[in-house]
Amino acid sequence: MDGDLARTHDLGEAYARERDAADPLADFADRFHLPDELYLDGNSLGPVSDAAEQHVDAMLSAWREYGIRGWTESDPPWFTYGESLGDDLAPLLGAAGEECIVTGTTTVNIHTLIGTFLDTLDADDDRGVLVNEVVAAMDEREVGIVFMPSVLFRSGQLLDVEAITEAAHERDVLAGFDLAHSVGVVPHELSAHGVDFAVWCSYKYLNAGPGAVAGLYVNERHFGTMPALAGWWGHDKETQFDLNLTFTPAEDAGAWQISAVPMLSTAPLAGSLELVHEAGIDRIREKSLELTSYLMTLVDERLAERGCTVGTPRVPERRGGHVAIEHPDAYRLSQALRDRGAIVDFREPNVIRVCPAPLYVGFREVRAFVDLLADLIDERTYEAYDTERGDIT
């Protein structure tokens, strides 16, 4: 338990009830529609909230009322919707509003930013990454850009963004990050740490829905750099509809937009961000650390003797929002869990990813999950499931 000794948890049922009763974020769960009894897969797809639904309805109403005039007369105007939501996201990222834009998809944003800023460095293993390994790779190769995830998708390890960025800049290397598994559950300080660029999705901890619009960050010192994939929506807004043959990029992160914001798949994000700001990212992070610590304690005490181990760092500062539980039969267990109402996911070769998302999961749900997993292992009912992997795990 080294690294997490400050967080001690009682194993009794009363403890879970008491923690939930004292939880300042407990009431947020009633504002989400959870499709299953134990929804522990928010690191893959967050559930829909009342606020997200309301913003979709409002967008449809504005389309009905304004038609084409919605680009300028809707509240907020569609023409600058990406910029408006970028302003809303900026506090979660430790950035200025003009450094953030809601646009595109994560993959497209990765290509446009790396295409702008040069080449990439790949990590070889998702089981764990040390900062000194990244530094060594920079020293051994001719590197122009380090592009890393903030959180490793399998293990849940939270990388030291500040240290990696500092080491990169000491070697005249740019530092970019994929924040898909951290935005909305881990506070960031991108500008203070000097990060050059970042991307993220909105359908995990931001709960904006399947295929929701993504976003990107560009440090203000790079404003004026010509985007590699220039699109008309990245043109300076004042002259965008002049349709000049010469591309004049916006003077902020908006320059890296390619196409118009898809309004109907972006509207849920506006509602979801209202909930995140109401809860407060620092309180979300604190509850997340408590829940993941509690889960790891229960795995140690209840599941270790059943063949389960924790594959996520114990040190609070080095883990994101999910816990990797390792077991030789993780795939079949994950399928059995789903059929019993506990939604988790599986990652090769032996990982059950469990995400106690702070806005709609409490201590009792975490305990119920561990109880269920223990029962499934004891009953051996998971052995009836096929070992052949499905398309989506």
Tens of pLDDT, residues 201-249: 999 999 999 999 999 999 999 999 999 999 999 999 999 888 888 999 9
165 and 302 part of one domain: no
79 and 222 part of one domain: yes
> Is the predicted pLDDT of residue 37 greater than 90, yes or no?
no
* Ramachandran area for residue 172 (φ above 0: left; ψ -120 to 50: alpha; else beta): left
Beta partners for residue 217, in sequence order: 100, 198
372 and 271 part of one domain: no
Q: How many CA atoms, within 13 angstroms, populate the side-chain half-sphere of residue 45?
A: 13
Report which secondary-structure segment, H or E, holds 226: none
Return the pLDDT at 143: 78
- Assigned domain for 164 exists: yes
Is the bond preceding 187 in cis, omega lying within 30 degrees of 0?
no
* Cα-based distances in Å from 355 to 11, 115, 361: 19, 33, 9
- Assigned domain for 390 exists: no
Return the pLDDT at 367: 98
- Assigned domain for 8 exists: no
Using DSSP bridges, classify how beta strands 197-200 and 215-218 pair: parallel, antiparallel or unpaired.
Answer: antiparallel
- Assigned domain for 311 exists: yes
Range of the domain at 169: 51-279
238 and 211 part of one domain: yes
3-state secondary structure 285-313: HHHHHHHHHHHHHHHHHHHHHHCCEECCC
234 and 293 part of one domain: no
Domain count, the chain: 2
38 and 139 part of one domain: no
Name the least confident of 122-126, 162-166, 333-337: 122-126
Q: 234: domain CATH number? A: 3.40.640.10
201 and 339 part of one domain: no
- Assigned domain for 322 exists: yes
- Assigned domain for 393 exists: no
- Residues 6 or more apart whose Cβ sits within 8 Å of residue 387: 331, 332
159 and 235 part of one domain: yes
Return the pLDDT at 180: 98
202 and 218 part of one domain: yes
> Is the predicted pLDDT of residue 375 greater than 60, yes or no?
yes
Return the pLDDT at 121: 40
- Assigned domain for 372 exists: yes
> Is the predicted pLDDT of residue 124 greater than 90, yes or no?
no
- Assigned domain for 1 exists: no
285 and 378 part of one domain: yes
Sorting pLDDT into bands at 50, 70 and 90, what band is 122? very low
Burial state string for 77-90 with b = 16 or more CB within 10 A and e = fewer than 16: ebbbbbbbbbbbbb
**Could you read off the pLDDT of 127-158 as tens digits, one per residue?**
566 677 777 777 776 778 999 999 999 999 99
**Terminal CA-CA length for the chain:** 29
Return the pLDDT at 292: 98
Helix (H, G, I), strand (E, B) or coil at 62: helix
Return the pLDDT at 127: 53
Name the least confident of 27-31, 35-39, 217-221, 372-376: 35-39
Could you tell me if 333 and 377 are in contact, meaning their C-beta atoms sit under 8 angstroms apart? yes
**Could you read off the pLDDT of 338-357 as tens digits, one per residue?**
999 999 999 999 999 999 99
> Is the predicted pLDDT of residue 7 greater than 80, yes or no?
no
339: closest CA among 300, 295, 390, 292?
A: 390
262 and 150 part of one domain: yes
* Cα-based distances in Å from 283 to 94, 187, 279, 280, 347: 16, 10, 7, 5, 29
Could you tell me if 349 and 125 are in contact, meaning their C-beta atoms sit under 8 angstroms apart? no
1: closest CA among 288, 302, 285, 294?
A: 294
270 and 290 part of one domain: no
Q: 29: domain CATH number? A: 3.90.1150.10
> Is the predicted pLDDT of residue 118 greater than 70, yes or no?
no
Last-in-domain residue among 279, 297, 319 = 279
**pTM score of the predicted model:** 0.92
Sorting pLDDT into bands at 50, 70 and 90, what band is 117? confident
Is the model more confident about 131 or about 199?
199
Tokens of residue 11, six digits: 């194993």
Averaged confidence pLDDT in the chain? 93
Amino acid identity, residue 19? R
Last-in-domain residue among 254, 279, 304 = 279
**Could you read off the pLDDT of 265-279 as tens digits, one per residue?**
999 999 999 999 999
% residues pLDDT > 70 (the chain): 94
Name the least confident of 57-66, 159-168, 384-393: 384-393
**Could you read off the pLDDT of 43-98 as tens digits, one per residue?**
999 999 999 999 999 999 999 999 999 999 999 999 999 999 999 999 999 999 99
Last-in-domain residue among 234, 253, 279 = 279
Quick one: average pLDDT of 9-17?
94
Return the pLDDT at 8: 84
% residues pLDDT > 90 (the chain): 85
| Distant-in-sequence contacts of 196-199, Cβ < 8 A, 24+ apart | 196/117, 196/165, 196/222, 197/113, 197/117, 197/222, 198/93, 199/106, 199/109, 199/110, 199/113
